[in-house]
Structure 1
C-alpha cells in the first residue's frame, strides 16, 4: 500500500479519507499494444483494483502527449496544471474504492512515450511496478493512425500524415530511448516488458507471468475473456478525413471533459450532430482490416525504426527480430 505525501493533501481530503491509496502498479503503454486487454483481464481479478478507463494523469499537461487537454475558449488558452491540489485530489479519487487487501493499478497508453511521466511517477510512486507492452513499431504506427481516423484526429492519408504531422504516431515507436528514461529512474526488477506479438499468440502464459510479477494468484483469471480491442475502419477513407477536418474542433472533447476543470470542451451543435449521424450512415465503420500500407512507406518506417531502436533487443533481453521485421 502506498500513502500519498501529506504535503500534497488539502485539509478536506485529509479528514475525509482514513487511508489514501495510490497505484502499486501501472500498465504504461505503448498505445495500440494490448494495454486495454491486460487492463480488462486484471480488472476481473479479486486481488486487484483498477479504475475503469484510462486515468492519464502523469502527463496531463504535456502538450506533445495530450494535445486534447489544451483548449482555447473565449480567446483564452486553458490547460490542466499537473501540480495543482485539484489535479492531485482528482487522481487520488480514482482509487478511493479499493479494498485494503487489493493491489491498486492504473492504465495509460501514453506514459511510456512521455518525457515528463517517468520522473513524476518516480517522485510519487518510487516502489511502483511498471508493465510496458511493445509492438512492432511499424504495425503500431499504422494501427495508431487508424485509431486517429476513427476519433477525428487526422485529416490526411497515412503517407501525408507522416510527411506533414508525424508527431505522436511516429515518435511513440522510439522504444529504446523511452525505456532508457525509465531504467535511469527505476530498478530493472520493477519493470516488466511484454511483446505484443507473443502476447496475442498465448495470452494465458503472459497473464500468468504478469500475475507472478505482481505476486497475485493467476488461477482465478478466466483467459477465455481475452480480447484485443479490434478497431473499425470506415468504408471510404477520403470522406471520413473530410468530416474529420470539418468537425476537428470537437475532437478530443471527451478527454478534456473528464478532467476536474472549470472549462469544458466545445459543445457540439444540433447541426454537427446531425451531420455526423448522416455521415456514419452513408460511410459506416466495420470490423475489417485497413488497406495495406504502401510498400515504400513500409520500407521507410522499417529503416527508421531499425535505426532508432538499435540495441533494443539487448535492453529488453528478447531477440525482437523473431517477432518484428522492423528491427536489426
Structure 2
C-alpha cells in the first residue's frame, strides 16, 4: 500500500492548508501529519532520526521490513478505492527521496508548493525559534541551521523529481498564487490528480497559523534551556521500540513547547523585521541557487517574487 500522490514540500509554503483541503475531497484519503518515510535516514533533509545507540549509529532504514510495515500502516484506515495521499515537506530537501519514491511507485504524482525563497527562509527561521531549535539571530543561524537555505533551494531537487517521475507527474503551486485565488489553485491540483472538481467555499483554507513572541530575547533565552529537549521532538514518531527515557524526554519537550506556545508566542507579526543587508544577501544567493527555475516551470517568477532573477 503506497500513496497515489505526495505533497513533497517546501516547508512554510502552505502545504498544511493544501493537505487539509484535499482531505475534504470525497475521493481522497490523506495520512495524518507529516510522515518522513522516504528521507528517514537522510541527515541533511531530516537529521532528527539519526541518533546514537551507545557507540553505534541508530537510524531508521526505509528498506527495513519493520519500517515499511510502519509506513503501510499509516494508510490502513483508508476506505477501499480512495486516492491515497501523504505530505512530507522535507522531501524537496532530500537527494534520495525522488528516487526512492520512483522505486516504490513510479506512477506517484508529487505536488510542490513554492514561495518567495527569501520570505520562506525568514519564515523557516521563526519556525526554528518557535520549536526551540535555535537561540541564534537570523544572521548567525544562516550558517548554523542549514534548513533555512536548503529549504529555499528549489530548482536542483525539483529537477531530480521531474527526471525521476517525469514532468507530467510533478505539479508546482506557487504560494502567492494560492493566496490570491485558492479556488483556481485547487482546481489545478484536482485536475492534475484526475479528481473531480471541489468547491472550497465552505472549507477552512488557512491552517497552521504562525504566532510570534512579543520579545525575541525572551524566546531566545528560553530556547537555550529548551534545546536540551529538542532532539526528542520526534522520539515517538516511529512508535514501537522507543526507549522509555526517550518517551519521557519527548513528553517533557511537549510540555515545554506548550508552555512557550501559550505564554510566549502571542503575537501575529514578528517582533523584528529582516535587516536590509541580510535581505540583499538572501535575494542574490537564493536567486543563484534557483537558477533556471522560471524556465523549468514555465512561469516568470519575478512577477511573484520581487527581485528574483532565477
TM-score scaled by structure 2?
0.91
1:274 shift after superposition: 8.1
Is the contact made by 1:204 and 1:223 (CA closer than 8 Å) also made in structure 2?
Answer: no
Residue equivalent to 1:198: 177
Q: Distance in 2 between matches of 1:84 and 1:107?
A: 21
Is the contact made by 2:118 and 2:283 (CA closer than 8 Å) also made in structure 1?
Answer: yes
Is the contact made by 2:214 and 2:267 (CA closer than 8 Å) also made in structure 1?
Answer: no
Q: Distance in 1 between matches of 2:292 and 2:238?
A: 38
1:59-91 C-alpha deviation (Å, 9 max, x unpaired): 011111112112335565422122110100000
**Structure index of larger Rg:** 1
Pair 1:294 & 2:286 matched: no
What is the root-mean-square deviation in Å for CA atoms of aligned residues? 2.3
Residue equivalent to 2:228: 249
1:117-176 C-alpha deviation (Å, 9 max, x unpaired): 0110010010011101110110001101111111111120111101x4141111121111
Is the contact made by 2:131 and 2:257 (CA closer than 8 Å) also made in structure 1?
Answer: no
Q: Distance in 1 between matches of 2:101 and 2:191?
A: 22
Q: Distance in 1 between matches of 2:116 and 2:10?
A: 10
Is the contact made by 2:21 and 2:205 (CA closer than 8 Å) also made in structure 1?
Answer: yes
Name the count of aligned residue pairs: 306
TM-score scaled by structure 1?
0.86
Is the contact made by 1:250 and 1:266 (CA closer than 8 Å) also made in structure 2?
Answer: no
Is the contact made by 1:68 and 1:251 (CA closer than 8 Å) also made in structure 2?
Answer: no
For 1:149-228, what aligned pairs fall within 5 Å after superposition?
149-162=129-142, 164-219=143-198, 221-222=200-201, 224-228=203-207
Pair 1:307 & 2:288 matched: yes
Residue equivalent to 2:89: 109
Is the contact made by 1:138 and 1:326 (CA closer than 8 Å) also made in structure 2?
Answer: no
Q: Distance in 2 between matches of 1:254 and 1:275?
A: 11
1:245 shift after superposition: 2.1
Is the contact made by 1:309 and 1:327 (CA closer than 8 Å) also made in structure 2?
Answer: no
1:210-248 C-alpha deviation (Å, 9 max, x unpaired): 111111122354454110422111122222222222221
Alignment CA distance shift 1:43-1:274 (3 Å): closer
1:205 shift after superposition: 0.7
Is the contact made by 1:305 and 1:326 (CA closer than 8 Å) also made in structure 2?
Answer: no
